[in-house]
Chains A and B, each alone.
Chain A
Amino acid sequence: MFNVKISLFARTRDLEHTIDRLHDKIIEMTVEFREAVDIYLKEKRSDNYRKTSKKIKTIEHDSDVLRRDIESRLYEQNLIPDLRGNILQLVENLDRVVNLFDEVAHKFYIEQPDVPEVYHEQLKTLVKQVSDCAENMAIASRAFFRDLPTLRDYSQKVYLLEKQSDKTSAKLRKAIFDSDLELARKNQLNVFVHEVADIADLAEDCIDALLIFAIKREI
């Protein structure tokens, strides 16, 4: 009986660390993504970009492993039965955000869009807003697990940053279509801007669900 308790204690502590590591990965991803776009705008598909892109791929892979580990342990150890479904959905949502970061970074690598210098600052602003939005989503998600009252503060930040990123992306896309670029380039840049902005939208969706789960978690 004592051994069972020790083992349950150790397993709970391990899973707590795994969940924390998943949140760490998201925050790491936001930093790497910003750096990757900065490098791309300066150097295009350089070795430096290749390295950063590889780091992003590794983070995405690691977070996949962590997600699967959390999901299987929650079921195998029959933990948090009342909220298990919600937590699985939350972990899936977080993973979708990580995947989208990876997809966009990879798309830069494959398609090598030629972004005119005049749009660099706006694109960097958009990437910063989107990264901050995802970072706050990760912090809000962490708060869901251990500090429910602060969840609302971070959620509010996510909503504000998503709104700002929408405005920035709309401005940028308008500027692109108002320019004299070829239609094919306009379309390509438009898709890129759209996909970067989608990350913030996905983070916002994640927070919407999280706030519902939080109502259920309140005692």
Chain B
Amino acid sequence: MFEYLLFLSSGLFLGWSLGANDSANIFGTAVGTKMLKFTTAAIIASVFIVLGAVISGQNTTETLNALGGVNTLPAGFAVSLAAALAVRVMLKSGISVSISQTIVGAIIGWNVYNHQETDSQTLINILSCWVMCPVVSGLIAVSLYLLVKKILHCSKLHILWQDFIVRQGMILTTALGGFALGANNMADVVGVFVGSCAFSDASFGGVINLSGIQVLFLIGAIAVSVGVFTYSKKVISTVGKGVLTFSPVVAWIVILSQSLVLILFSSEGLESFLISIGLPPLPAVPVSSTQAVIGAIVGIGLAKGGKEIRWSLVGKLVCGWVTSPLMAFILSYILLSFMENVFRQPVIAIM
């Protein structure tokens, strides 16, 4: 078990990074605009990240495992560490970074290093979801923006009541965003350790029964929550300056759109439903919450006439699609090589 936890540490570090960086997308604007206190937002987000991870986290894991079945602990460690390091490097360079995209690059690095074939259909699915994610987020944001604007125009709601409703809405959206992040992105954190999971089933008071994999997701979610509490405040204060140019209503629409998109790309039920009514499905794929936020911002910018759009954001988004997985791919290849040749650890299980 000690060995398992030691190798899991890179996944937990990645989880910490996810909590530190992506939680700013969930409640950064709520805290930045002083609509919610940081502690309140962090507690709500953490509770729902755990719930999302344990209840729905496994849906997106299947997609990642279909891309590449990392099946030894040392390989999982190297792949996770590569993704985590790529995130740090990309954040330093100011390019939009997605943990989902770095982990995909790192998994492909494992495939190439071990001469395993990458499932092209799964890869195409994932790549199309990266493009669809900001587009769908933008469409949702525009619809919500026009709807809310119409409601505000017709209702003649007093500014104080608007403030009251947005405040309550932000609490709900923080919970929804936390759940969505846990459900969609937990596969990035611990997905590569599922194949070698050493946890046994657990029961909490006979009421809550978790499978070994759910325990793994619970631990991953706790690492994310630690990231939320220990570092996200700093990230919010750094990125908050750019975000604060929105009114709280728009900020709320952006977070809500982002949360809905993450849920759309995590739900197998929705995928089956869309297929059943003859529509193209939205597969359960880990997508980037940051890029969903950018999609929503650009969508609202276009709805307002397009003058306020910061096109540099779109440039960073497209740049992130290419550079994040590429950097993680290279790092993964190098770390796997170190793991195998220097530390003499197996990076692929012989079936």
Interface residues of A (CB under 8 A from B): 8-9, 12, 15-16, 19, 78-83, 87, 144-149, 216-219
Contact = CB atoms under 8 A, between A and B. Distances in A.
9 contacts: A8-B164, A12-B161, A79-B163, A80-B159, A81-B248, A82-B33, A87-B159, A146-B158, A217-B247
A219 B145 contact: yes
A79 B158 CA distance: 13
Contacts, number: 48
B294 interface: no
B292 interface: no
Given A12-B161, A144-B159, A146-B157, 5 more contacts: A12-B164, A19-B160, A80-B163, A81-B35, A146-B159
Contacts of B250: 219
Interface residues of B, number: 20
B302 interface: no
B34 interface: yes
A134 to B, nearest CB: 22
B34 A78 contact: yes
A83 B248 CA distance: 10
A217 B157 CA distance: 13
A217 B246 CA distance: 10
B149 interface: yes
Given A217-B247, A219-B249, A12 B160 contact: yes
Given A217-B247, A219-B148, A219-B249, A81 B160 contact: no
A123 to B, nearest CB: 38
B33 A16 contact: no
B152 interface: yes
Q: State the main secondary structure of chain A at its contact with B.
A: helix
Contacts of B92: none
B307 to A, nearest CB: 13
Given A81-B35, A82-B33, A219 B247 contact: yes
Interface in B154-209: 156-161, 163-164
| Most chain B Cβ neighbours within 10 Å, of A80, A146, A219 | A219
A87 B156 CA distance: 18
B344 interface: no
Contact of B160 (A15, A82, A147, A148): A15
Nearest to B244: A82
Contacts of A216: 247
A87 B161 CA distance: 15
Nearest to B162: A80
A16 B157 CA distance: 11
Nearest to B161: A12
A149 B157 CA distance: 12
B153 interface: yes
Given A8-B164, A81-B35, A145 B248 contact: no
B160 A80 contact: yes
A80 B165 CA distance: 11
B161 A16 contact: yes
Interface string B105-148: 00000000000000000000000000000000000000001001
**Which residue, A81, A82, A87, has most C-beta atoms of chain B within 10 A?**
A82
Contacts of A80: 159-160, 163
A130 B141 CA distance: 46
B56 to A, nearest CB: 26
